[in-house]
Structure 1
């Protein structure tokens, strides 16, 4: 083993990428929640180019007074101060003061100053980060000054979620370490998964910062990378270290340090468990790569962040970990707890459980499948939408400004729709918009400040921007307006993104299932087992989303988890969480089926191989699931809703998948199938590579 060379290379990688890592959360992009190529994005671009930056990404400042009116001496001074503050930044284009009949309430006590966007959406979110506190500080004893608008929303949203996710991560580490110590019974062995995780985290954080210099990467990419590096790093290390410790036993503990026999044990480990880990990593990467089909920068770069973390964890698993294992040898069991001295890789408990399944395989299949189907039934009524203002804390300035505007100007005022059309169609467009059901009012059409021949006006909906009726209002507007008219604005951007997510969801599910099946087919050379192993993942996924509907849409247990139900699940959930759940589920599938195949290659006995596969992988799957459930459910304690959704959905999926699918349903189906589980037609066997998991 080339311990020094490997450590030297990793040291260079971690120092190089680690130098960039500390700036990961401050440098990554805060926007990107849009459907590229959509009508609403085109409106935003036109507004920024031709209308002084009065786009959905503009900074909005709400000025409210109870002791006077907008335009009196006190409010005029505040407006001038806000104008001076905003105009000093080159990311601001034109500044539009509160205008009666357009951005001033009927009672004259609330007005909106609009600072046009002269930069892209990510820079406008960074500007919101920079100016939010300074804008709020302009308020006086009698005048409230609050920043709001789409850029401010994403700024507060990102900060609240980042803080919550970091707290959840910190809470999960002690629990993770405790589970690892109990699983391994040795402090040294338990420390190896954490070493793997930290290496993957530092490397992926630095890589994301460098990649962000080429193309904007969402700050959410690091949040998810952090979580998956921890979960998968521990998964892979559990499987590899457990197999290495098992390989040591025939030597009777006679060696320690870097010896030829230690190198042989490492080779045996990677000749068996190493192949399963590699197959698992490829499966995870394939599942997440399907998300890249969605034409939304934030969604795509979240997938990229996780994929980078998986690549670095895999790299560490196949270079850093074997070098350390070869150097440690028998010392991997150092600082062992008393119970660990009798611990064997083959678990008698899971061997007995496999015996129970052998006696009643049909009961196990029907019982576990029925429970999963019952939990999955609510998914048929699942509603999804982009997040509402409720996802930011109640005391956030953006939420306070939002409600001030609603109280003064109507429910739909914070989400005005922007309509851009040719000047000759302006009269027809404003008339049709005003007569559209669900539109409370329209503002006068304003010509562009150049010779483009365009005009823009706002349509104020009657309902809150997150109300499901907004989808129908937008569709009616687009159908009724002249052909030259384009409809955008923040609500339209959310609806267009949701439409894109809904459109691509069946495609993504299909791609993930087909590629997952093909990968298992290549590895196992068993069509029936590959098909069953792929399809049963749908049951745990469906059950997790069924539970999600009950909790997040219907509001059950909302008091326990301390959140305000939106009446729907956040829109990216089905696409992104499906890919993540399927990746984790296939992780366990690979560990189980690779071990079963290894024993089938040795014995040729289909039923015995299931028993031995369970005995040798059941405890690892159980421990890995316990770590993941602990990691995911800590996010359920977060205050913001999105981390709470992620934690509960992923935690529920892992719990159900490990306990009901991998440790009950899948082995029971294989027991029922018997020899048919490993049947493969001769023509297919000639095509497929011969991948062996025995050593």
Structure 2
């Protein structure tokens, strides 16, 4: 692998214009194809094999007019009643019914369904069903809706879009978040490199790779369902890892230039060392998030696939585009002081008599640099921790355990339109419906009943009896009269809960109706609807979470065992990563579920944690932690091989890597936090959770727990049974033997 990466890096640096032009053509071509043939993103929460899924399939087959995707047009009379405008409401609903993709649009004022009219007559919740997922419709469709309801608004009625209709045209706009994240990342890179060119290279690669990955994702959306939030989550993750991978390579390259390598040599060697670490770490991230398919839920799996695609493209860009940009930049990747120092060193070397003297001089320079690393503030901190590993290790562990305490009260559930920004039509419709009909009207349950086995004369009595039983059930606010299909073989009964869709009591009601009320029915029955579907979704994801944790932890253990030829390194990483992820979960619960500081990220009320958020966070964070784990421990291992002194190896490893790891972590944190500007609460949770996880990993874990544990383990940290040593492959992620310098002078590198 190392030889291949070395050749790849050198070739990319040597033929840099071809590589850069190739990336430009490919990315532009992908965007053109995306514009011509790309698909749309839709949220499909269907859980194959679940009760809600089976019930929806029956409705679509036998009772199509009751199926489809629901929404509503909410009318509000701020003075008088809506009935005073009956003619304009009728013409409005007729116009809505003629829009593309609308199956039915019911005017409650002309039917006996008074359940859609509030008791005081000021609010009407007119049901609409669509043939497609409403969220897949773009903003131009909102314009068509606005035109259809304009007569009602002109008559003085407030008209808002509820349910699925409120999600139309809500495609995310990540532009501001991306701009802020990139600007802050550029600032941090400049503070580290003190070179505009070196700071810009990782950002250029990030824009190319994330843009190309998103274009591929858009093309795949034409043949496969991807969630609406998939591009945002993929961008959030892709920008973070792309900039970090670029940082690792550029940092290594600059260090090697200082050691006397020419540009092409250095690009190749950086590729074979840091590039190998990136390949392994990036591959781990990809495999970990593809592990989301363990959930058995297409929505969650597709969310992982979308992020995996973008991360895979960022790894490819790191291994090809970054070396090409290094070849183009030549020595301008160094700041002026470093270039002047390098010129001075080469002038000194030109006066030396032979290559052996040059090599000795450069070895002296490397020793000086390593000594500087060992005496840095970070290295002094590492020695301080190593001198008292027990107190520091226990204190750090207690901090993580305290942060994880809120995890014990985590409530998994669903988010509803009540968490949307107050300015959104969906939020206004939600509040109006709750005001006029109670909070449960925003998430009605639908009981589907199959009547094929019931005689025609008994069907109505069976339905009336079931409706009566449902009405008496605790937690039910109202039950609407049953309705049947034209053949009389399939019926639906709409049930309005007393609590909102996101309330735990509503989930309890769904389970109670299924297990107690409907269990005694002879006829096949199903509870369906958005709320019931979310309940099935949450239960499925929750039941599969242990499988994901086991699979990802095992993957990390195997990778580190092979990479460092040690069993205890893998065990240590698994335990520490579980602690840091648990602490991040605790912060998420405290901020969003308990409401501690949630207003700072644009959430004004307490909200439950969507069931897929912990699963997605675990896969991503565990994968990302491998970046820092590999980067730090490879240097510690390199120092251990050279010194056989565990205390000194920890100090050297931290001194050599802490600045890069700290900068990389800071970049990820600012990129992640920039996405709290997104209106979607789920994206906010992921942004905050992943930022906190990276902060904990780069500070408490890498700067305290890792040196504490490594010191306590001593030489045993690198223990591997002999029989296993003979079985596993021998690879090096960092610290391979550098090639001999080819030149004494800077010929061709200016």
Partner Cα distance (1:129, 1:586) in 2: 44
Q: How does 1:279-428 map to 2 (within 5 A)?
A: 279-334=280-335, 347=373, 348-423=376-451, 424=454, 425-428=462-465
SS in structure 1 at match of 2:439: coil
TM superposition shift of 1:69? 4.7
Partner Cα distance (2:407, 2:72) in 1: 38
Q: How does 1:440-589 map to 2 (within 5 A)?
A: 440-449=477-486, 451=487, 453-479=489-515, 480-481=517-518, 482=521, 483-589=523-629
TM superposition shift of 1:620? 0.9
Partner Cα distance (2:709, 2:232) in 1: 37
SS in structure 1 at match of 2:47: coil
Mapped contact 1:386–1:572 kept (Cα < 8 A) = no
Partner Cα distance (2:339, 2:700) in 1: 31
Q: Which stretch shows the higher mean deviation, 194-203 or 47-56? A: 47-56
TM superposition shift of 1:392? 0.9
Q: Which stretch shows the higher mean deviation, 281-290 or 129-138? A: 129-138
TM superposition shift of 1:335? 5.7
Q: How does 1:629-640 map to 2 (within 5 A)?
A: 629-638=669-678, 640=680
Deviations 1:78-118 (A, max 9, x none): 222232233231x1223332133342333444333223222
Partner of 2:126: 113
Mapped contact 2:418–2:431 kept (Cα < 8 A) = no
Partner of 2:87: 76
Distance 1:333 1:101, change over 3 A: same
SS in structure 1 at match of 2:168: helix
Deviations 1:415-463 (A, max 9, x none): 11111102335344323222221112211211113x3711112011122
Unaligned runs of 5+ in 2: 1-10, 343-364, 455-461, 738-750
Distance 1:340 1:529, change over 3 A: farther
Partner Cα distance (1:474, 1:667) in 2: 50
Distance 1:49 1:205, change over 3 A: same
Deviations 1:519-564 (A, max 9, x none): 1112111110111012201111111111222221222223444422
SS in structure 1 at match of 2:726: helix
1:10 aligns with 2:10: no
Partner Cα distance (1:588, 1:47) in 2: 51
Distance 1:107 1:152, change over 3 A: same
Distance 1:62 1:637, change over 3 A: closer
Partner of 2:705: 665
SS in structure 2 at match of 1:351: helix
Mapped contact 1:192–1:237 kept (Cα < 8 A) = yes
Mapped contact 1:246–1:344 kept (Cα < 8 A) = no
SS in structure 2 at match of 1:19: helix
Q: How does 1:228-307 map to 2 (within 5 A)?
A: 228-251=237-260, 261-307=262-308
SS in structure 1 at match of 2:508: helix
Distance 1:8 1:689, change over 3 A: same
Q: Which stretch shows the higher mean deviation, 569-578 or 59-68? A: 59-68
SS in structure 1 at match of 2:160: strand
Partner of 1:174: 183
Unaligned runs of 5+ in 1: 256-260
Partner Cα distance (2:270, 2:313) in 1: 20
Partner of 1:148: 162
Structure 1 counterpart of 2:209, from 200, 205, 216 = 200
Mapped contact 1:188–1:335 kept (Cα < 8 A) = no
Mapped contact 2:422–2:428 kept (Cα < 8 A) = yes
Mapped contact 1:350–1:614 kept (Cα < 8 A) = yes
Partner Cα distance (1:339, 1:263) in 2: 20
Distance 1:117 1:47, change over 3 A: farther
Partner of 2:56: 44
Mapped contact 2:286–2:308 kept (Cα < 8 A) = yes
Partner of 1:93: 103
Partner Cα distance (2:139, 2:678) in 1: 24
Partner Cα distance (2:329, 2:422) in 1: 53
1:214 aligns with 2:223: yes
Distance 1:105 1:337, change over 3 A: farther
Mapped contact 1:185–1:337 kept (Cα < 8 A) = no
TM superposition shift of 1:309? 1.2
Partner Cα distance (1:344, 1:223) in 2: 41
Partner of 1:258: none
Q: What TM-score, normalized by structure 2, do the two folds share?
A: 0.85
SS in structure 1 at match of 2:153: coil
Partner Cα distance (1:145, 1:49) in 2: 33
Q: What TM-score, normalized by structure 1, do the two folds share?
A: 0.91
Mapped contact 2:676–2:684 kept (Cα < 8 A) = yes
SS in structure 1 at match of 2:259: helix
Q: Which stretch shows the higher mean deviation, 551-560 or 519-528? A: 551-560
Deviations 1:472-525 (A, max 9, x none): 111111122125111111211222211122112121111111111111112111
SS in structure 2 at match of 1:32: coil
